[in-house]
Structure 1
Amino acid sequence: MLNETLPPQLETALHRLYANPDPVAEIHAQNALAHTLAGARLTLYYDRIPDTPIGTVYLVANERGLVSVDFGVPESQFFAQIKKNFGTHPEYAPELLTHHASRIKDYLQGKSTTLDLPFDIHALTPFQQQVLLAALQIPRGQVYTYADIARKIGNPKAVRAVGQALGRNPVPIVIPCHRVVAANGKLGGYSGGGGLATKRKLLVLEGALMA
């Protein structure tokens, strides 16, 4: 966790959960904890990674993991989007995101071939989460089509909805939605900063496309 100090309401809910040996009481405690977690406003922290092959990368995380990865946008636009999405301004805390920043920087510079960073996508719908977790399983150097993802989640007719869900990916690169392409061999869409030019750069970096 980024911050080992839990908000008081979370400490209370956790205490109720672990202090109840009775199964029925435990279920009630679990429900109370879920409600508390859903309503708790977790502190947001951010850092920036300058001079990457895709421009400055902005990272935002809470105690659970990364909630936003942005790039190819002015800093003012980044802050405005975070304010719109979360209703608050993140605290600048590079010391808490050193590991995250280092891993992503090395990945974009070709020094590392894997990314295994915690993220928090609880704000998305269950369907969107399902699509993004399917995209997370695509191996580096490979691409799937939108139809492949639809079949993978057991909903083969939801091709358009899959594309829309990928467009809501709050942590691109970490969840590699750039590895999903159109069935006709074209790149399809990309909601990350820089659009299709960035998508192509990432696929070339990973060896899925020729430079």
Structure 2
Amino acid sequence: MFTRIFRKPKQEESAVATLDKLNETLEMLYKKEKVLMKKAAAEVEKAKEFTRAKNKRAAIQCLKRKRLYEQQIEQLGNFQLRIHDQMIMLEGAKATTETVDALRTGAAAMKAMQKATNIDDVDKTMDEINEQTESMKQIQEALSTPMGAAADFDEDELEAELEELEGAELDELLLQPGTTAPAAPVPMRAGRQPVRPARQNNTAEEDELAALQAEMAL
């Protein structure tokens, strides 16, 4: 365990240091490449001057040195490609290592959680919750049960009293003077007058209502 703890930072430091070294080397190669390109361009200018001066031998020597510089530039380009390749591989390996470490850490955490959470403990906890719920229901039922004077009331007597109140209210409604709702207007054809209801029918209904009220009063 301690080996893993101390090994991981050292590996990361080594990878970071290697990447820094490769970047420094790559920067140095870029600088040398620029210098060689300037020297090659200078040899070309010298060759032009010697050509104008009819000094063919000196011009050829300048072109030879230019070729040497170009060979070195090409070699530096190959070095740069190799360093880039190695940097890409190293960065990929570093990302892979970090991913594997993260997955390993997650697996260890899940394993520890599974050990800490046993199925028997879960069942025990659920049983305790069910017992507490049942106890709470019993307490609520006990609190809602009537006690004292309220417990002595007879439900049948209360229902009979309620029926008497309903009957008395119905009697009061019947004793009130009745009102007849106006009849809905009947559409009539043009040229015809509406026929008024017979007075005799209204008088008979009023007599029946009066007799009913007198009987209820007795």
Shared fold (TM-score, shorter chain, > 0.5) = no
Quick check: which one's strand share is greater? 1
Quick check: which one's helix share is greater? 2
If the length of structure 1 is used for normalisation, what is the TM-score? 0.17
Q: State the structure with bigger RCO (CA 8 A, min sep 6), 1 or 2.
A: 1
If the length of structure 2 is used for normalisation, what is the TM-score? 0.16
